[in-house]
Amino acid sequence: MPEVRTSKTPVVPPQEASESTATLLRELVSHLRQNRTQLRQEWAHRITEAKLLTAMSADEIFTEATAVYDQYVEALETGTFEALQAYARNLSERIIPRGVEIHEVVGIVLLLRDVLARSLFAKYQGDFAKLNRILDAYEPAANRIANTVAVGFVQERERIIREQQEAIRELSTPVLQVRERLLILPIIGVIDPQRARQLTEQLLRGIRTNRAKVVVIDITGVAAMDSQIANHLVQTVEASRLLGATVIVTGLSPEIAQTLVNIGVDLGKMSTVGDLQGGIEGAERLLGYKVVPIKEQGPNT
Amino acid sequence: MAVPILKQGPYLIATIQSALTDADLVQLRDALVGKVGSYRSSGVIVDVTALDVLDSFASRTLRDLAHMIRLRGAETVIVGIQPEVAFTMVRLGLTLEGVATALELEEGLFYLAQKLHSARQEG
Amino acid sequence: MDDVRVPISSDVDLVRARERGRTLAGELGFQQGDLTLVATAISELARNIVRYARRGEIVLHPIEDGGVPGIVIIARDEGPGIIDVNRAMEQGYSTSGGLGMGLPGVRRIMDKFEIVSEIGRGTVVTVTKWKR
């Protein structure tokens, strides 16, 4: 689990910042504000030239460039990065579905850093000592900004991937109603803790919405499970019972049977049947169904 | 807040309406254990649909309630445990062992009717 | 979002504390199942306060890490303290004749669990749950 961290730390804590750094940053910010139109245009031009953000139109690039430029200057001025961070996430959310890649995002922020640095060179080339001091103030802030934007992009992409994984998981384990009040949950493949939890939640909701009385969980397609997952299976059986449904587990491999015995599962709490067919037959008996072949029925039916 | 207890034929039905304090739960337990005798009821249904938390104290009180009522000669069914609540309970190790459960009120009535029926056949 | 403080001195406060926790976790975007976990954990922690220390407080503190919100629940009392914390964390151990499910159960359903107890000074239990 991630540790608690706060993103509110300014680049240079204000109380420790020497007066000159603060003054220099102010001077820098006012320079960037005065030359906003020209620098922004220069940047947009460099983006197109470097063939970055090809998925976006020139107009779109210019609009985003303007917003990023302003956020950039504001972050330099205030030393806080929350607004920029929020914007970076929001921007990422919009451009990721269009196929914009991380190298493009990092590329454009580095280009902006270069464009601004050049303009500082141009302005202070007569006074080398001052240029040095200005760059000392500018560079750490600029690097932190580039970092913030890149991290924002990556986090957003990770979030999207997580969401997609979630969707795939949900598709991969259907809760099937085969008869009134009888659900089947066929589990295939590897079960990790996250999938196990999702399975349980889906099953419990399914029991409620389908008013199921009996559930057959078939794990023929699961080769092995560790004790954590085995415990989870037992918990699922118990939770289903609390909702009023009986669970029959079918298709236990020899390995899984061994795991269950090793963790000391209370067999009184879990009913198991060799295969899915046997499980369904058992479920039908519990529900009071009797399946009879057609030829054994009377001639009029 | 007291839980209303409704007498319906041979059964007592207690429908919990909102979150209960520990004292409310104990009061409910005592009221049901008392009334099951005075009304000569054969079954008790406790509907917990409205509860969004069933922690260790609530689970233990419900379990004790069911066991006391069995000792008084009647059956108890707990109905309406929500899916999220059920999963949280088992993760805490609270499984209401030896207590009958059903999806909702109707199922609970059906369960008690069956119990009563088979008891009569045996007797 | 601000911290939520709920003073605990009776079983009525316990209901209020878990409702506040559920609301806060809901505002942070927690899923339905996790709202129940948060509310139940608060219920157990607050009951321990009422049972062993008579009074104390529950503090609900929203946090964030890398865009993932979480909730920190702090249960603080100035009661007698726990003599053997390790034993208190064992399933089935209880000094008050309860089920003894409280603390070990809470640890199982939360992502992070810390307990500091000093004899005669009180107990602070801090648990964290992240949104998933």
- Chain A and chain C share a number of CB contacts under 8 A equal to 22
For residue range A107-144, list pLDDT tens digits in order: 999 999 999 999 999 999 899 888 998 888 888 888 88
pLDDT of residue A16: 47
pLDDT of residue C14: 95
Q: Give yes or no for residue A6 having a pLDDT over 70.
A: no
The CATH code of the domain at A19-166 is 1.10.490.10
Give the closest-approach CA distance of B41 to chain C in angstroms. 30
CB contact under 8 A, C33 and B84: yes
Q: What is the mean pLDDT of residues B70-78?
A: 96
The CATH label, of 3.40.50.720, 3.10.129.10, 3.30.750.24, 3.30.465.10, for the domain at A176-295 is 3.30.750.24
For residue range A138-192, list pLDDT tens digits in order: 888 888 888 888 998 898 888 888 888 877 776 677 889 989 999 999 998 888 8
Separation of alpha carbons A10 and B53, rounded Å: 42
Separation of alpha carbons C63 and A268, rounded Å: 43
- Spell out the residues 6+ positions from residue A2 whose beta carbon is closer than 8 angstroms to its own: C65, C66, C68, C130
pLDDT of residue C114: 94
pLDDT of residue C111: 96
Separation of alpha carbons A122 and A50, rounded Å: 22
Q: Give yes or no for residue C42 having a pLDDT over 90.
A: yes
Separation of alpha carbons A14 and C9, rounded Å: 43
- Chain B and chain C share a number of CB contacts under 8 A equal to 70
Separation of alpha carbons C45 and C74, rounded Å: 9
Residue of B nearest to A266 (CA): B97
Domain boundaries, chain C: 4-130
Burial of A59 (0-12, 13-18, 19+ CB in 10 A): exposed
C75 or A22: whose pLDDT is higher? Answer: C75
Separation of alpha carbons C111 and C1, rounded Å: 21
Topology of domain C4-130, CATH: Heat Shock Protein 90 (3.30.565)
pLDDT of residue C95: 46
**Integer CA distances (angstroms), A275 to A186, A203, A216, in order:** 12, 20, 10
Q: Give yes or no for residue A235 having a pLDDT over 90.
A: yes
The CATH code of the domain at B5-122 is 3.30.750.24
Answer for the pair A120, A35: CB distance below 8 angstroms, yes or no.
no
pLDDT of residue C40: 96
Residues in C touching B19 (Cβ below 8 Å): 15, 18-19
Q: What percent of chain C has pLDDT over 90?
A: 72
Q: Residue C58: pLDDT band by 50, 70, 90 thresholds?
A: very high
Residue of A nearest to C70 (CA): A4
Answer for the pair B36, B12: CB distance below 8 angstroms, yes or no.
yes
Q: What percent of chain A has pLDDT over 70?
A: 90
3-state secondary structure (DSSP) of residue C53: helix
Give the closest-approach CA distance of C65 to chain A in angstroms. 6
Q: What is the mean pLDDT of residues C3-18?
A: 95
Which amino acid is it at A235?
Q
Residues in A touching B86 (Cβ below 8 Å): 204, 239-240, 242-243
Residues in B touching C98 (Cβ below 8 Å): 56-57, 60
Q: Could you say which of C33, C65, C112 has the minimum Cβ distance to residue A5?
A: C65
For residue range A140-150, list pLDDT tens digits in order: 888 888 888 89
Domain with CATH 1.10.490.10 in chain A: 19-166
**Integer CA distances (angstroms), A77 to A17, A25, A41, A83, A150, in order:** 13, 7, 21, 12, 20
For residue range A205-219, list pLDDT tens digits in order: 999 999 999 999 999
From chain C, which residues contact B within 8 Å (Cβ)? 11-12, 14-15, 18-19, 22, 32-33, 35-37, 39-40, 43-44, 47, 91, 98-99, 101-102, 105, 108-109
**Minimum mean pLDDT range among A32-41, A284-293, C60-69:** A284-293
Separation of alpha carbons C55 and C78, rounded Å: 8
Q: What is the mean pLDDT of residues A42-58?
A: 87
pLDDT of residue A272: 93
Q: Give yes or no for residue A230 having a pLDDT over 70.
A: yes
Q: Residue B69: pLDDT band by 50, 70, 90 thresholds?
A: very high
CB contact under 8 A, C66 and A89: no
Residue of B nearest to A204 (CA): B83
CB contact under 8 A, B84 and C101: no
Give the closest-approach CA distance of B8 to chain C in angstroms. 31
pLDDT of residue B57: 93
Domain with CATH 3.30.750.24 in chain A: 176-295
3-state secondary structure (DSSP) of residue C13: helix
Residues in A touching C111 (Cβ below 8 Å): 1
Six token digits for residue A178 = 């085969």
DSSP state string for A137-173: HHHHHHHHHHHHHHHHHHHHHHHHHHHHHHHHHHHHS
For residue range A245-281, list pLDDT tens digits in order: 999 999 999 999 998 898 888 777 789 999 999 999 9
Which amino acid is it at B45?
I
CB contact under 8 A, B52 and C22: yes
Q: Give yes or no for residue A40 having a pLDDT over 50.
A: yes
Separation of alpha carbons B11 and A164, rounded Å: 50
Place of tokens 């979002």: C1
Answer for the pair A236, A200: CB distance below 8 angstroms, yes or no.
yes
Residues in B touching C12 (Cβ below 8 Å): 21
CA nearest to C49, candidates C92, C3, C106, C109: C106
| Interaxial angle between packed helices B83-91 and C102-109, expressed in degrees from 0 to 180 and rounded to the nearest 10 | 120
Separation of alpha carbons A91 and A109, rounded Å: 13
C17 or A1: whose pLDDT is higher? Answer: C17
pLDDT of residue A3: 43
Q: What percent of chain A has pLDDT over 90?
A: 30
Separation of alpha carbons A272 and A261, rounded Å: 13
Separation of alpha carbons C26 and C37, rounded Å: 12
Q: Give yes or no for residue B76 having a pLDDT over 70.
A: yes
The total of other beta-carbon atoms located within 10 Å of residue A266's CB is: 10
pLDDT of residue C67: 84
For an interface test with C, the pick among B57, B62, B82, B89 (most C C-beta atoms closer than 10 Å) comes out as B57
Range A22-28 contact pairs with CB under 8 angstroms and sequence separation of 24 or more: A24/A133, A24/A134, A24/A136, A24/A137, A25/A76, A25/A77, A25/A79, A25/A137, A25/A138, A25/A141, A26/A77, A27/A134, A28/A76, A28/A120, A28/A134, A28/A137, A28/A138
pLDDT of residue A298: 56
Give the closest-approach CA distance of C7 to chain A in angstroms. 25
Query: Contact partners of B by the rule of 3+ C-beta pairs under 8 A?
Result: A, C
Separation of alpha carbons C19 and B84, rounded Å: 16
pLDDT of residue A299: 57
Q: What 3 state SS string does chain B have?
A: CCCCEEEECCEEEEECCCCCCHHHHHHHHHHHHHHHHHCCCCEEEEECCCCCCCCHHHHHHHHHHHHHHHHCCCEEEEECCCHHHHHHHHHCCCCCCCCEEECCHHHHHHHHHHHHHHHHHHC
**Integer CA distances (angstroms), A273 to A36, A112, A179, A264, A282, in order:** 74, 66, 19, 19, 8
Q: Could you say which of A201, A208, A235 has the minimum Cβ distance to residue B90?
A: A235
Q: What is the mean pLDDT of residues B116-123?
A: 77
Q: What is the mean pLDDT of residues C43-54?
A: 93
